[in-house]
Structures are given as C-alpha cells and as structure tokens.
Structure 1
Amino acid sequence: MKKLAALTVALALMGCSASPQERAERARKAFADHDYRAAQVDLAAALAASPDDPALLELHARNALAMGDGIAAGASLAKLPQAARPKDFALLLAESALLRELPDEAIAALGPDGSPAASRLRALALLAKDDREGAAKAFDAGLAGAPDGRLLSDYARFSLMSGNVKQARDLANRAKAAAPGTIDALLADAAVAVAEGKLAEGLAAYDAAAKAYPGNLAALAGKAAVLGDLERTKEMDAVLTSLAEVRGGGQVAYLQARAAAARKDWKTVRTILQANERSLEGKDEASVLYAQALVALGQPEQGRARLQPMLTRNPQSGLIRRELGKAQLAAGDAAGALETLRPFANVLTADPEDLRLLAKAATQAGDPEAARLAEKAKYPTPQSLAATLAQADTAMRAGNWGNAIAAYERLLAVTDGRNPLVLNNMAFAQGKVGNTKSAIDFAQRALKEAPGNPSVMDTLGWLLVESGEDRARGLELLRDAARKAPQNTAIRDHLTKAEKA
C-alpha cells in the first residue's frame, strides 16, 4: 500500500512538472527580478531541451555574467551564431574574458569601441594588468559620453583604491543619479559610505542591494563586513549563513574567520584561514588575523614569522607592530618585543594600550627604562587625550560614526568613564549606526552624570521614542529638554516628530 501511494505521488509530480517553455519563461522572470541563481536552474533545464536556442543562450550568458561566472558565459557566447549575436556581443565577450582573468583578450574583444560601456571594461582590463594610469585615462574617456551608471560606479571604486574619497563620493552620487537602484550604483554608494566612516549609511546601501539582488556576493559580503565592524556578531553570522550557497572564495572565508574571532573561537579562525590561504594571499588583514589565532592557540613563533615580514614592508602600521610585539612576548622574546614596540614611546599621541604593552616588554626584558615606561603607561598624556578628542570631534562633525565610536571607546578606556559629553556623544554615534541597545545604555549613563542637561535628555529621549523602548519616558524627557532649552532647534524637531508619531 505504501509503495502504491509513493508511486501515485511520483506520477502526480511528473504530471505537474513544468515544460521547457515554462522553465524558459520562469528563467526570464527570475532574471528580470535579479534572482540569478533561480534563473540559472530553470535555464539549465530549458537549454537541456533546446541547447541551440539563441535567445536562451544569450540569456544564459547574461545571467552567468551577473553571477560572475565568466567560463559559463563564454561557453554560451561561443555557441551563438553570427546572425543571432546581440549588438553588445563584444562587450559581453570582453566582460566574460575579464572574469576569466584574461585582460588582453578583453581589450582585443573591445576593439576601437569608445563608448562609455567599452571604456569601463577597458579600464578594468588595464587595471588587471596593473596599469593604473591607463585605467584612469580609460575611465576619464568614458566620462565624455552619456552618463553610464556602471562606469561611474567602477570609477568611484577605483578612486577609493587611490585614496581619493571625495572624488569617489562625487562619482557614486552621479552613478546613483544615472542608474538609480542598480547593483553597481548601490555597491559603489555603500563602499564610499564605509570609507567615509558612515557605517549606518553603508549598511543600508548593502542591505538594499542584497534585497534587490538576492544572493549577490558583494552585497552580502559587504553587509556582513559592516555588521562585523559594528560588533553586531549575531547578525553578521546570519548573513554569513545565507552566503553558504554562494561561491565566495577568500572574501567569504575572511568574513567567517572574523566572525569566529569575535567569538574568540581561535581554532575555527585558524581552520578557515588555513584552508583558504591561496585565495587570501596578499590580504594583510587576513594574515594579521591568522597570526592572532596562532598566538592565541599557543603557536607564537609561527605568528611572529607571519608578522615580521609584514612590518618590514609596512613599518608605519601600528596594528602590525602591536600584534608582532604580542607574539614576541608570547614566544618569550621580551627583548625583541621591546625593540618592536619602542617606537610607541616617542609618539606623544600613542594609545595607552600600546604604552602598557611596551612597559610590559621593558619589564620582562629587564630594561633600565622599565619603571619610567610603566609610570608613563598609567596615565594618558595630555597630547594623547587631546588628539583623541579632536579625532572624535572631527568624526562627529563629518558624520563619521565608526571613527567617532572608536575614539570614544579609547577615551572611556583611559578615564573614569563618567564624562557626560563623551557618554552622550557615544550614545549619539551608536544610535546612528543602529546599535540601539548600546546607545540607550550610554545615554542613561550620561543622564546619570548630568541629569539636568538638555542635550543629554534629548539624546536619551529621542532614542527611547525612536526605538519604541519607552515612548512615554522618551516624550517626557524631550518635553523637559525643550522647556530647559527653548531655542534649541534640534530638540524642538525631535519633540515635534515624537509627538506626531
């Protein structure tokens, strides 16, 4: 009886299966909806029935390019008969070659085409050949034509690589205007926002891209990275889980290792990075994380071996110097750690944490300056505090919430943690990046230290209202703040919005 029932179900499913024509139509709809993985499944079935259908081959090539699969795209493009090739065939061929890391083939496919679309691909091909000057000229040549969202977006990312954040922002804004809602414009906007320290805006752009383009690796990886920067590890893990079916190589592996490091799961960090060493080659942040894992797992000599050549290449990096010093101390080489960390002693604005590490190395090495360094490490220099405050203030005025939070964290770590201005500004910045619970905690601490301060009352009141945590108390605080500072337009605006809500 059970066998008969199973056979009935199987026959019913066979009768309900979609025809090749229906699968082809479904693929077209999925492609239009930017669901490229779903389109790929239906395209495979449709092509199995009609392997030489030009329309299906073209759609398959475009879908493969959207998924970053240059091999599959190239195979379908090669099957297209001359008469059925679309007008942008050369562009498709060039993009396929680029994805296969064949920049010369891409340039040859473009020929003399000087359109913005061709200029974009030519620039990327030249960049792949490490010809940055040629790439810049190609991008500039493309700007002479009609506004092209993809060119503007890639030029924005190229500008970020060159350290020109201002130019990158201008180009990203132009990309959004030329091609609103497209994946390229969204990703460029997100990358620039993160570079500007506007993590909440970057997260929103990556989130919009991930929703509009399901399964997009760059969108999901970018979103996970920003969540990691914001220390929202659980949300980061959820995004990484959704990336399980996406071939992400080293990019995803590094993010998975970062998430494991946030949980102090150093064995997993080592396992992930070890398995992806080839795809992560040249990525300094991954090498530093690997070294940190090795030190945490009792293998400081291996960690030191990774960090030493990196510091030789980049002696200005405080992060690499700090981690190498830790590895040397863990390996029992206090004298080596002292030499590595000694430059921190000559920096008036040095972080107190680095000074404490230096003092520890000096003490263990028996250095005659150990006592003086230990005393110096106890208290931050006025210059150090002033520099950190200036950094925080500059970041706040620029809306660079990520840098502001980092600066205020350093200030709170070396003071008694009771300064209401620091606490209030930290609450404001945490709220801006979406860390609502943390923001409210800091705002409540600020109010405890300055219970009658209108700005502090406004910060906590608005956070309570906006988050829905305690709307009644939030309104009360905003009304009190407005009475105390009737000329403060920011407080008045918050109160107006709260009362309307």
Structure 2
Amino acid sequence: MNRIIRLAMPLAALGLVAGCGDSPETLLGKAQGSFGAQDYAAARKQLAAALLKQPENPKLLALMVQTQLQLGDPDGAEGAVTRLQQTGAEIPDLARIKAQIALLRARPQDALALVGNDTTIEGWRIRAEAQLALGNPAKAAEAFENGMAAGDDIALAEAYARFKLTSNDTQGAAAVLQRMVKMAPRSYETLVLTGDLAAARGQTDHAIDAYRKVLEAYPDRVAPMIALANQYDAKGRIDDAQDLVEKAGKLAPDNPDADALKYQLLAEKGEWEKIRLGLQGRESQLEPGSGLQMRYAEALLRLGHAEQARMLFSRAVLVLPGNPYSRMMLGEAQLASGDAESAWATLKQLAASTLARPELLESAEKAARATGAPEAESLAARLEPARLKAAMALVSRGDMAVMHHDWATVRTVYGKLLAQGEDPEVLKRLALAASNLGDARDATGYADRALAVSPNNPDYLYLAGLVRLNGGTDLPGARRLLEAAAAADPRNTVIAQDLERAKAAAG
C-alpha cells in the first residue's frame, strides 16, 4: 500500500499545485531550477505535474530519479527507475543509482556489491557510507579520503564531515567544512554543517546564528528548525524553542525528533498534565528508555501515579543500565511509592558522586533518613546552601569545559573534584581529558580506577576499552573490554561501532 501511495497518488495530487497549465518543458525548467536550489520537494511536485502530461519523457524521469534519491525515498526512486527503463533510455549510472537505493533501504552489503570497483566520487561516497553502516569506520575513512582526493563533491564532503563529528573529531570536521565553504558556500549542506559544528563545540550563540541563516535560505526545512530549537533550549529560551517545534510539527507531523523535543520542552516547563494527555494513548508504543517514555513516566510521577511511574522507569533501567537519569527517576518513584529501602539501594551510589545534582541529593537524603542510613547526615551537609553553591559552580565549570572540548581545563577542574573522593564519574572525565591530550598512560589509569569502583558498569567498561583503543595500547585488552561493554549494553550503537574498530585494530 505504501508503494502505491508514493508512486501513484502524488502524481495526481501534487500536479494540482505545481502548475497544471504549464507545458512539460516549462515544468522541467522549473524543476531543474528547484533541484539546483536544493528545493527537492518543489522539484518533485513540478516533475509529477509534467509526468502527468508526458509519462514516458526520459528527461523528466531521469530528474525524478535523482530528486527521489535526494529526498531519501527509495520506493519513489525505484519506481522512477523502472519507468525510465521502460522507455528504453540508456541509464549509464544505473548501478550507482541502485546502490544508493540499497543504502536507503539499509542494505549496505548490496550497495557495496552494486558499486563494485567504481572509482568515481559518487562511488567512493556510497562505499564509505556502506562501510559505516557495516560498522567499519577505518574502511569508511579510507573511502572518504579517496573520494575527497578525486575531486569536489558537496554530498561526499558533508558525509565525511559528519563522520568526523560523530567521531568527536571537531578539528577534522572543521577542515572538511573549510573545503565545503570553497565548493558551495550557500549550499544547504554547508550552512547546516556550520551550525552543527558550532553546536558540537558548545558555541551556542554561533550555532543559533548559523541555523538562522539556514532557515533564511531554506525556510521550510525541518531539521534546522529542530536544531535551532535545541539551541534556544540550551539558552533557556523555551518559548522560542516551542514556537519552532510547533512549526516543524505542522510541516512534518510524524517527525520523531520534533515529537521528542516537544515533550522535553513541556517537561522543562513542568506541564505534566499536557504530557500525560498527549502520550497516554501511546503508552504501549513507547520504547522503554526512550525520551518519550521517560517524559511520560516522569509526568505520571509528578501527578501522583508513583506505582505506574516505577514500573516504566524499571523498564528503562533494564535497557539503559548505565543511564544515571533513569536510575535517579526510578529511585524517586520507589520513594514516592513508599519503598524507601529500594529507593536508597537505587540512589546510594548515584548520590555518592561529587557531581550529584541537588535534586538527586534531596531524594537520596530522604531515602537515607527513611531507612536510618548513616549517610543521611553527610547528604544533608552537602545540601547546605553555601557548600552546594560552591560545588555546583565547580561542576558547571567542568561541564562547560567538556562541552567546549577544553581538555586542559577539564583535567584541572576534575582534578580538584577528585580530591573529594574516588568518584568514577570524575575519573571518567579525567580519562577522557588525558586521552584527548595524548596521555594514554594516565587515561588508562583513570579509566581503570573508575572501572574498579563499578566493575560491571557498561559505561566504564566502554571507557576502559576506548582509551586503550584510541591510545593504541593493549589492543587485545581494548577488544575484551569493549566486548564486555557491548554484552552489558547490547543496544548501544556507539559501543558497537568502537568494538568493530577494536576488532580491526587487534587483527
């Protein structure tokens, strides 16, 4: 049914708004202009209207194939390819087109087979993205580099820059972006990546300016709307963020990112009843551990439905064993449901961290007092206003340094916090700082100390493996630790990708 809708319905429906009185030649010219301006939705409408009049026009069909690929519609692209083949027209890049369709359908092995030994820029891009989908980042990087050496292509460059960003290589992403600016300074890809790079570096104001420029040039694109809304949220401009999310929701009602951010913003404003009403009919569809599920669970907790919230947070903890938020909220739900013993067992380790936030300390202190735990007094002391303010100021400084990848400051700040006790979260940040500063020995030492405090925590298993992998030391140990982390948190795609890197490195 979906395929029929995509291939047949839009041709008639979209033609009504694309200018039925225009000739196919005029519509083709308009579509070429829209395609060149990267307004692929408009190009599809114009081509659909033209194809109603000339359904076997090979020029129209060839452009429709490329348009559907740009829109990420594999069914639409395949349908246009089939019709183009039926005209008898030669399609010189058919294998590459089919490879792109295979990628869109999450069939990377098929894409690699189709692209074969193609050494065009597009061939290298397909090969790189297929290798990424298969969890082979080293092979992907090699393909990206070969593609970049073959010439200028904005799609390849953007994909490579995003690969760098997801690898936390902001310097490498910036170098690729500089080349993109020379290639196509006003392209959608270049403008968006400018914002994404600033956001990754924690440069919120620069990111806001960049995303605004994107929306000035491409006012109906949903992704930069959501990105800008996230930056407004980071600045505390929740109303501005909500306005953008509402607009994005109208343009793309089924967009999961807009949906998630909508409820996150409602939670930040404490509008729990709106969250409950909006999500209660979807409760059975909410994936455990997802942002929406935890927003809904928190709304139930704040509205007095502690037992139901406890059940939902218990499910979240099962699928996100290393997530401190889900554990903190489970502890709150246990406390609210009258089970102080379970609440203290859940919150005790979290509250021991020097990075613990006031709301966590407050819940932990209540649970400790209710169970008669001696830690209640020390928790109360940490909540003393002057002491709490000084501690949170230092934590905030450390958070900002991590966000800006200012690793020297990270090392200084968390070194001071480590003096307050052997805290695995502090050790984790020190390990990351040392690793990024090229000090593999200290990175491994900090990571191993964090793991010693919490031996079965998948986050610390991952950290201990990662610093070894990045430092090129003890590669068999890196693989063993990452395998243990993947077993403890099997749904974590980041761990899975780095495990593949470790396997390749260890041989």
Q: TM-score range by the shorter chain?
A: 0.5 to 0.7
- Does the 8 Å CA contact 2:313/2:326 hold for their aligned counterparts? yes
Q: Which runs of 5+ in 2 are unaligned?
A: 1-15, 411-507
Shift of 1:359: 0.9
Distance 1:284 1:46, change over 3 A: same
Contact 1:168 1:192 survives alignment (8 Å) = yes
Corresponding residue number in structure 1 for 2:214: 209
1:103 to 92, 101, 108: 108
Q: TM-score, normalised by structure 1?
A: 0.67
Match of 1:220 in 2: 225
Where does residue 160 of structure 1 map in the other structure?
Answer: 165
Which residue number in structure 2 is paired with residue 329 of structure 1? 335
The offset of 1:235, in angstroms, is: 2.3
Note closer, same or farther for the CA distance 1:389–1:235 as it changes in structure 2 (3 Å cut): closer
Deviates more, 1:159-168 or 1:185-194: 159-168
Change (3 A) 1:193 1:303: farther
Q: Paired residue for 1:384?
A: 391
Task: Give deviations 1:302-355, integer Å, cap 9, x for gaps.
Answer: 433343354456555433332222222222222222122212443234333322
Q: Distance in 2 between matches of 1:162 and 1:393?
A: 20
Amino acid at match of 1:232: R
Residue 115 in 1 paired to residue 92 in 2? no
Partner of 2:180: 175
Cα gap change, 1:279 to 1:47, in 2 (>3 Å): farther
Q: Post-superposition shift, 1:197? A: 0.8
Counterpart residue type for residue 28 of structure 1? Q
Matched, 1:34 2:41: no
CA contact (8 A) 1:176 1:185 kept: yes
Q: CA offsets per residue over residues 396-448 of structure 1, 9 Å max, x none?
A: 98799xx9xxxxxxxxxxxxxxxxxxxxxxxxxxxxxxxxxxxxxxxxxxxxx
Q: Distance in 2 between matches of 1:90 and 1:44?
A: 24
Larger Rg: 1 or 2?
1
Deviation digits for residues 183-222 of structure 1 (CA, Å, limit 9, x no counterpart) = 2223333222212111222223223233333432322222
Match of 1:55 among 46, 52, 59: 59
- Paired residue for 1:254? 260
Tell me the SS of whatever aligns to 1:80. Answer: helix
Other-structure match for 2:192: 187
1:287 and 1:165 mapped to 2: Cα distance?
Answer: 32
Asked if the contact 1:70/1:96 (under 8 Å) is kept, the reply is: yes
Q: 1:163 aligns to what SS in structure 2? A: coil
2:134 maps to what in 1? 129
Cα distance, 1:228 vs structure 2: 2.8
Counterpart CA distance in 1 for 2:282 and 2:192 is 25
The reply to whether residue 75 of structure 1 matches residue 71 of structure 2 is: no
Work out which of the residue numbers 18, 25, 28 in structure 1 matches 2:21.
Answer: 18
Matches of 1:141 and 1:275, distance apart in 2? 50
Cα 1:155/1:227, change in 2 over 3 Å? same
Q: Report if aligned partners of 2:108, 2:131 keep a CA contact under 8 Å in 1.
A: yes
| Cα separation, partners in 2 of 1:35 and 1:178, compared to 1, 3 Å | closer
8 Å Cα contact 1:173/1:189 also seen in 2: no
Counterparts in 2 of 1:302 and 1:389: CA distance versus 1, 3 Å: closer
Distance 1:158 1:58, change over 3 A: same
Contact 2:222-2:251 at 8 Å conserved across structures: no
Once the two structures are superposed, what CA deviation does each residue of 1:270-301 show, in whole Å capped at 9, x if it has no partner? Answer: 46556778997587434432332332343333
SS of 1:264 mapped into structure 2: coil
Letter in 2 for 1:72: G
Give 5+ residue unaligned stretches, structure 1.
1-12, 404-501
User: Residue 214 of structure 2 contacts residue 224 of structure 2 at CA under 8 Å; is this kept in 1?
Assistant: yes
Report if the CA contact (8 A) 1:20-1:45 is conserved.
no
The 5 A counterparts of 1:466-481 are none
Aligned-partner Cα distance in 1 for 2:36–2:302: 48
Which residue identity is paired with 1:212?
A: A
Q: Which moved more, 1:364-373 or 1:83-92?
A: 83-92
Q: Are the aligned partners of 2:124 and 2:146 in contact in 1 as well (CA < 8 Å)?
A: yes
Matched, 1:43 2:47: yes
Q: Tell whether the 8 Å contact from 2:65 to 2:77 is kept in structure 1 after alignment.
A: yes
Give 1:72 shift.
0.8
Give, in angstroms, the shift of residue 50 of structure 1: 0.9
SS in structure 2 at match of 1:127: helix
Q: Deviations over 1:71-117 (max 9, x none)?
A: 11221122223864565444333223322333233223322112332
Tell me how far apart the structure 1 counterparts of residues 61 and 227 of structure 2 sit (CA, whole Å).
Answer: 31
TM-score when normalising by structure 2: 0.66
Aligned residues: 388
Contact 1:156 1:167 in 2 (8 A): yes
Cα 1:392–1:123 change in 2 (3 A) is closer
CA distance in 2, matches of 1:262, 1:309: 23
Code of the residue aligned with 1:384 in structure 2: it is: A
Partners of 1:19 and 1:278 lie apart in 2 by 49
- Native 8 Å contact 1:150 1:175 kept in 2: no
* Correspondence 1:357 to 2:363: yes
Q: Is the 8 A contact 2:211 2:225 kept in 1?
A: yes
Identity fraction in percent: 31
- Which secondary structure state, in structure 1, belongs to the residue aligned with residue 159 of structure 2? helix
- Identify the range of structure 1 (258-267 vs 48-57) with the bigger mean alpha-carbon deviation: 258-267
Secondary structure of 1:144's counterpart equals helix
Q: What root-mean-square deviation, in Å, do the aligned CA atoms of Structure 1 and Structure 2 show?
A: 3.6
Partner of 2:461 in structure 1? none
Q: Match of 1:348, SS? A: coil
Q: 1:246 to 1:397 in 2, by over 3 A?
A: closer
